[in-house]
Every structure is written in structure tokens, then in C-alpha cells.
Amino acid sequence: MRKALAVLAICWLSAGCWQAKGSLYGTAPSAGPLRTGKVFSTSPDNPKEISHAVLTRQKDGAYRLTNADKGTSDFGDAYVVRFFTLAGLPKGSFVFEAVADDKCEPGKDCNRITAASERYYGLMRLTKTGAEVTSPDCDKTSAAARLPGVTAGDYGTCTFTSRASLEAALKAQATQPWRANLAYRYE
């Protein structure tokens, strides 16, 4: 997937990313807005580059998005993704939380999920053929970067320490014109 799909929530290309050390949603119940199966993704910035994945649902209600592009270095790598409803978001829109859960083979570096693993956040909205995701930019002068409990870093990243600050930023982002970073379609 040439990392385009594998970075479901990681700093969407140059858009930056919103992140936290560990989950800001803990054991909160997640929503199940997507159907499972084979999907492909495209980016508005490079629509000819297509990545393939398999979306499955785990027993805990989370989704697993696994790279299905054979012959790539990240084949089999995955993200565990949860979706949450949030009052004030447009209909069909959800908060997403994603965490890397790469394949772990002997002798290879991998990212197994721990309680302290970085989580990535943004918004997802349903479309007629799948979903679109956006991960807002977070430069040091952005409104999100000025919220309490937020640390603006380099390369457009903001690290949130509270769910309240994250949700305030997501609600504000939802009022802006939608800019999809990736579009997922069912095969």
C-alpha cells in the first residue's frame, strides 16, 4: 500500500496529524459504521496511486485494516481502527482512532499495540461507495494548537492529553469545508 493505506490516520501526507500517547477513548463503546471486506484507497493528491486492504471486524468491535498489496514492504501490516459518535458532528460523520499493529516476524521491527501506543485521530464520513477520512492540519498557529492540553510539534502534529480538548478541536474542524485526505471504496 506504499504506506498510503497503512497511514490511515498518520499525518495524512502533508496534512499533519492529531495524536495522543495511549487512547483518549479507553473502553468507550465504538460504533460500527462500515461493512467488512476488500477495500481500496486513493488520495485526491495522487488519484492514480491505488492501495488495497482488507477491512475486518474484531470481537471487541474495532476494525482491522490490513495491507493487502503483495510485494510491498508493509504487506500484512495493519491498523486497528475504532469509530466513535460525537454530538455536533454532521450526520454520517465519526471520530476515528487508529493505532499501528504491524506484523511481527522474527528479526523484524514491529509495532505491537500497548496501552501507551500512539493513537491517531481525525474524522471519517460515510459516502455512497465507502468512506472518506480527514486528519486535520495542526501547525503551531492553528486554533487546535492553542487549546488547553495540546502540544503542537513539528511537521503539523498536535499531541492531545485530554479527550475534551480533542473533541472540541474535532467539532471545530467539522464546521470547516471537508478536505478528504484519503477515500476508501469497497471492491
On the question of pLDDT at 4 being above 60, the answer is no
Please give the tally of structural domains in the chain. Answer: 1
Q: Which helix (H) or strand (E) holds 165?
A: helix 163-174
Residue 136 has pLDDT above 60, yes or no: yes
Confidence of residue 122 (pLDDT cuts 50, 70, 90): very high
CA nearest to 166, candidates 26, 5, 4, 58: 26
Average pLDDT on 178-184 reads 90
Is residue 31 a contact partner of residue 39, using CB atoms and an 8 Å limit? no
pLDDT above 90: residue 168: yes
Query: What are the tens digits of pLDDT across the range 95-109?
Result: 999 998 866 666 666
d(CA 157, CA 28): 25
Q: What are the φ and ψ backbone dihedral angles of 94, each rounded to 5 degrees?
A: -140, 155
For residue 154, tell me if it sits in a domain.
Answer: yes
Is residue 129 assigned to a domain? yes
pLDDT at 106: 61
Let me know if residue 114 belongs to a domain.
Answer: yes
In a domain, 2, yes or no: no
In a domain, 11, yes or no: no
18: left (phi over 0), alpha (psi -120 to 50) or beta: beta
**CA dist., res. 57 & res. 61, Å (int):** 6
- Residues in the chain, overall count: 187
Q: What is the pTM of this model?
A: 0.87
Strand duo 78-84 + 63-67: pairing: antiparallel
Residue 183 lies in a domain: no
Confidence of residue 187 (pLDDT cuts 50, 70, 90): very high
Domain membership of residue 7 (yes or no) is no
Q: What is the mean pLDDT of residues 145-173?
A: 90
pLDDT score recorded for residue 27: 94
Overall average pLDDT of the 5-34 stretch:
73
Distance set, CA 167 to CA 88, 160, 161, 162 (Å)? 10, 10, 11, 9
Output the average pLDDT for the chain.
Answer: 85
Q: What is the mean pLDDT of residues 134-153?
A: 84
Helix (H, G, I), strand (E, B) or coil at 180: coil
Q: Which domain holds residue 89?
A: 17-178
pLDDT tens digits for 41-94?
Answer: 998 888 888 999 999 999 999 999 999 999 887 788 889 999 999 999 999 999
Would you say residue 4 lies in a domain?
no
Q: Could you report the per-residue pLDDT of 22-49, keeping only the tens digit for each?
A: 999 999 999 999 999 999 999 888 888 8
